[in-house]
Chain A
Amino acid sequence: MSSLQTASETKIRPVPRHPSAEPRWLRWLLIGGALSFLALFLFVPLVAVFVNAFHKGWEAYWQAFLTPSTQSAICLTLLTAVIAVPLNLVFGVMAAWAIAKFDFRGKNLLLTLIDLPFSVSPVIAGLMFVLLFGRQGWFGAWLDEQEIKIIFAVPGIVLASVFVTFPFVARELIPLMQSQGRDEEEAATVLGASGWKTFWRVTLPNIKWGLVYGVILCNARAMGEFGAVSVVSGHISGLTNTMPLQIEILYNEYNFVAAFAVASLLAMLALVTLGIKTLVESQHASALRHKHPVQRPTS
């Protein structure tokens, strides 16, 4: 009996019910390992921001936002984002149109150049602008004569933010528009629509979720940039401090509750950004389909 059983087993080996079935203990070990890793490096620090911010109650939390230097830091952060995001949005749309709708020599070179800011350390990004516009920089003497201040002033902060957020919108739109092809636009043009009308009525509805996605990521980075801005800001309280710089100052003054209160605001911005991102991804998966170009097997 038993020999018969083993014989039949060797002939027809039982294929696991689901081929991706690791043993139960291994499955839970992997889930446990993954979650503890994420807890140590992500969840605990995230929770710590809010716990430290509310450490001394609502009153102390609220008090942190009443100081003029913190308020002006919030205003400057908003101003920076309001300038940097639209600039890079216009660039992103323009670059994506040129790259996705036309075949030209040098396209790969252009794509590589657009990605460059991602591989430049933020501190070096700040340094570049100091070398250009600082007092000893190339344009330093000339700017001094004109009495224009860029470094240690708001324009420098905006420039540094524009640089670090440069690729976000373009990177989101280029693969999306490439995957959508150019048939619809060509049809509209042949039927007599102007270029502007074609873009507005045909292209934009197709790319709007990719656009939203790129803009929120760009905005989060613009508001949260620290290294690049730190180099060019000069840390003049009430004038050239953005929220991340204000956090550093408060922290170094051992004003932990205020530092974490400002940090909690940026952490909430990050959570909202992730929320919108997840929503766009799940609701409009097909509109962002380029992310997974490989065909999935039908199950």
Chain B
Amino acid sequence: MIFRLKQRSVLPGFKLTLGYSLLYLSLVVLIPLSAVFLKSATNGWQHFWEAATAPRVLASYKLTFGMSLLAALVNSAFGLVVAWVLVRYHFPGKRIVDALVDLPFALPTAVAGISLAAVYSSHGWIGQILERVGIKVAFTPLGVWVALTFIGLPFVVRTVQPVIEDLNTDLEEAAASLGASRWQILWRVIFPILRPALQTGFALAFARALGEYGSVVFISGNMPMRTEISSLLIITKLEQYDYAGATAIAVVMLLVSFALLFLINWNQARSHRFL
């Protein structure tokens, strides 16, 4: 048995609560998840490889990974600025802005999807302005990027913000009194402290974007080979009763997500050791 009590305790309920947790976890999460891997295993390696590397599937990986990466990068830069502004500066409406940063967590993805599609379409408020300078957003890969940026927006802000709040101003004062310029302080003193949180936020935003579906499908136009994300391709295959094909893509996406999860935990454990 893996789960065993290390130390006797006077508190009751260990067996009951742990037992129930493990049972529920197995029923809801572990058994269904293993179904995906077993299903792909029963189809054989050859079939898996063909399904997971078909040209249309490869095009969807390229779009999904590329746009997720781009969205996470932009979110890292602006998320850092937003977190900094929210902690260090005062401006009217700051509390409301702070609360609204979490909107992508709370707003259902379908709502975000139709709204972004409306705003960034060629008749939309922002879309028509961009169209005048020759930029088309809706039904292009750029639209996918807009949706993924929206969905990943809170991650960097919310991982970096508490670290900025906890920044010891003594360090900055010491650096300033020793003659460092503000830029030097920002770059050489503050940024290294924020870097682990920034990395974690980036990875979280990237991981979230990889699996996103609802907010993307309305704005992307879902054209095969061009604006079709991997999640949508899974659904398309399912609708054609190509279960093996859908499962193959799912396994690839799951393995990438788990690798990212591992990386995030490792990065956090490492940074905690030094702080």
Contact = CB atoms under 8 A, between A and B. Distances in A.
Q: A and B from one assembly?
A: yes
Interface of A: 13, 15-16, 19-23, 27, 30-31, 33-35, 37-38, 40-46, 48-49, 52, 87, 91, 94-95, 97-98, 101-106, 109-110, 112-117, 119-125, 127-132, 134, 136-138, 159, 162-163, 166, 182, 185-186, 189-190, 194-195, 198-199, 217, 220, 223-227, 230-231, 243-245, 247-248, 251, 256, 259-260, 263, 266-267, 270-271, 273-275, 277-278, 291-292, 294-297, 299
Q: Which one of B16, B116, B182, B253 has the greatest number of beta carbons of chain A within 10 Å?
A: B182
A121 to B, nearest CB: 3
A23 B186 CA distance: 13
A297 B125 CA distance: 45
Interface string B145-179: 01001100100000000100110111011001101
Interface stretch (B46-54, B55-63, B208-216): B208-216
Given A243-B108, A270-B107, 7 more contacts: A45-B112, A101-B14, A119-B207, A120-B211, A198-B11, A224-B109, A227-B109
B177 A13 contact: yes
B2 A127 contact: no
Nearest to A33: B81
A166 B28 contact: yes
Given A103-B5, A120-B254, A291-B162, A274 B103 contact: yes
Contacts of B32: 125, 128-129, 131-132, 163
A245 B214 CA distance: 10
B74 to A, nearest CB: 9
17 contacts: A33-B78, A38-B82, A101-B11, A104-B18, A105-B4, A109-B2, A112-B265, A119-B261, A123-B234, A124-B36, A127-B238, A131-B39, A132-B31, A182-B9, A227-B231, A267-B107, A297-B170
B106 interface: yes
B13 interface: yes
A296 B238 contact: no
Contacts of A31: 85, 89, 91
Interface residues of B, number: 106
Contacts, number: 320
Contacts of B235: 123, 230-231
Contacts of B250: 121, 123-124, 127
A260 B114 contact: yes
A136 B29 contact: no
Q: Which one of A87, A127, A267 has the greatest number of beta carbons of chain B within 10 Å?
A: A127
Nearest to A182: B11
Given A101-B11, A128-B33, A260-B114, A106 B3 contact: yes
B150 A42 contact: yes
Contacts of B128: none
Given A97-B17, A117-B29, A224-B110, A30 B85 contact: yes
Contacts of A256: 118
A259 B89 contact: no
Contacts of A27: 89
B108 A131 contact: no
Nearest to A160: B32
B250 to A, nearest CB: 5
A29 to B, nearest CB: 10
A118 B21 CA distance: 17
B99 A275 contact: yes
Given A91-B20, A112-B265, A273 B11 contact: no
Contact of B106 (A43, A220, A227): A220
B45 interface: no
B110 A248 contact: yes
Q: Which 3 A-B pairs have the closest CB atoms?
A: A121-B211, A224-B108, A195-B12
B111 interface: yes
